[in-house]
Amino acid sequence: MAMAIGRRGFIGAATAASVLPRSAAAAPTGRPFLWGVATAAHQIEGNNVNSDYWLLESLPDSGFAEPSGDACDSWERWREDVALVAAMGLNAYRFSIEWARIEPEPGRFSRSVLDYYRGLCAACREAGIAPVVTFHHFTSPRWIAALGGWEDARVVDRFVRYCATAASALGDLVEYACTFNEPNAQVTSYVVAGGRQDPRETRIRAEAARALGSDRFCAFFQGDAFRVRDNILAAHPRAVAAIKAAIPKARVGMTLALQQLSAAPGGEGLLRRVRAEGRVPFFAAADNDDFVGVQSYNRDVFGPAGYLPTPADAERDASGQDASPGVLGAVVRDVHGACHAPIFVTENGINTRDDTQRIRHLRTSIAGLDAAIRDGVPVLGYLHWSLLDNFEWSSGYTPRFGLVAVDRYTFRRTPKPSAAAYRDLVRAHRG
């Protein structure tokens, strides 16, 4: 999770892959069920020097454990990444295209960067992998942040123009597209914090503005959460239309941060507010989309003043949060009751250094998803976060979400046993 916000965002025995039910073999679209992995440009490409996050990471006291630097060097090693996805027998790869590279200065689009992403999409398709392209995954060009970022209404036109240009360059190589990644996370954190802004934010934004010679700076998770939400919700349908105008067959939606939420006595009001501000408007915006992207990791329980501590008997991830594998099944059922769009699980996984925990978590999460599908929840696919151990925003390189380990110095990729377990599980589902 991004910026100074930490992620607040075991049931049963491990299920044997060979007995998993097969109901997830075909999606409600009639297209094959999508089995894949997800990544994001800034977290894997490296040297995303024109982005707002690159600048923030370099500021003293900005809350980042370390800067992204070379990340996983996927900018150079993307062919290896596609080969890893193919080796797992997957048919979908979600990655993001980087606005800061595509439009490094206002209105100046880089043909070579757009060609680069075309090459990535083409390589996926040659390997039988559907590219699932995210147009905005937290990072923006520095010039957008210096203009006032997502707090300033002018960003809407700029974003739509970028989406139109990128979509027409990628063209029919793209089958699935996500406009925004987790645009509901900021307003959710804001409501949980009781409407208080992190006091460090003003200082960090002023420093970043100074570094750019601007009088303002606003990155994705900064600024007035409600103004940011308004601008994103104004941009989303226009971005969907722009992408579809360029790629009529594309299926387009946005992805949302959707943890499993409940309230302990006294926490009901907060739960209601979080749903009302951080979910309802986004579900309404997604209602007519081709899918709603569900991204679930944790189980959060509200008390009167915020999140309650993780219960002693909970399954924990490496950061100590409740990471029960029951989360995914519960959340997709909940979303199905609240939004009409078909569900696409665009992220789910666990931060752990114990790969046996990851395997257990993966199998049980998918068994829960499968049970929901058998009960009638329409699901297009499941994308595991993540392909690689990568740059986890403000937490740096300490968290481990990958099915594949990456050497920090040589960038050598080494699949973990969980990569083979995922391959076997997908094979068993396909029958």
| Residue ranges in contact with ligand FCB by CB under 6 A | 1, 40, 43, 181-182, 257, 295, 347, 385, 392-393, 401
Tokens 């006032």, residue located: 148
> From the CB of 195, what's the least distance to ligand FCB, in Å?
22
Integer Rg of the chain from CA: 20
Q: In the complex with ligand FCB, which residue's Cβ is closer, 43 or 364? A: 43
Q: In the complex with ligand FCB, which residue's Cβ is closer, 98 or 152? A: 98
Amino acid, res. 87: A
Q: In the complex with ligand FCB, which residue's Cβ is closer, 5 or 247? A: 5
Task: Report d(CA 233, CA 237) in Å as an integer.
Answer: 7
Largest distance between two CA atoms of the chain: 61
> From the CB of 256, what's the least distance to ligand FCB, in Å?
10
> From the CB of 386, what's the least distance to ligand FCB, in Å?
7
Sign of the Cα torsion 373, 347, 311, 261 reads negative
**First-last CA distance in the chain:** 35
Q: In the complex with ligand FCB, which residue's Cβ is closer, 38 or 372? A: 38
Q: Which one-letter DSSP state was computed for residue 223?
A: S
> From the CB of 299, what's the least distance to ligand FCB, in Å?
15
Length of the chain: 431
> From the CB of 125, what's the least distance to ligand FCB, in Å?
24
> From the CB of 357, what's the least distance to ligand FCB, in Å?
16
Tokens of 30: 């009639």
Task: Report d(CA 355, CA 313) in Å as an integer.
Answer: 20
Task: Report d(CA 308, CA 204) in Å as an integer.
Answer: 29
Q: In the complex with ligand FCB, which residue's Cβ is closer, 96 or 364? A: 96
Q: Please say whether the beta carbons of 318 and 399 come within 8 A.
A: yes
**Number of neighbours of residue 322 by Cβ within 10 angstroms:** 23
User: CA dihedral defined by 176, 179, 181, 183, rounded to 10 degrees?
Assistant: -150
> From the CB of 297, what's the least distance to ligand FCB, in Å?
7
> From the CB of 258, what's the least distance to ligand FCB, in Å?
10
Q: In the complex with ligand FCB, which residue's Cβ is closer, 42 or 429? A: 42
Q: Name the nearest CA neighbour of 149 among 100, 90, 185, 112.
A: 100
Tokens of 282: 């986004």
Q: In the complex with ligand FCB, which residue's Cβ is closer, 88 or 257? A: 257
Q: In the complex with ligand FCB, which residue's Cβ is closer, 52 or 392? A: 392
Q: Please say whether the beta carbons of 82 and 127 come within 8 A.
A: yes
- Strands of 211-267 (E only): list them: 251-257, 260-263
Q: Please say whether the beta carbons of 250 and 29 come within 8 A.
A: no
Q: In the complex with ligand FCB, which residue's Cβ is closer, 20 or 178? A: 178
> From the CB of 327, what's the least distance to ligand FCB, in Å?
13
Which secondary-structure segment (H or E) carries 323?
Answer: none
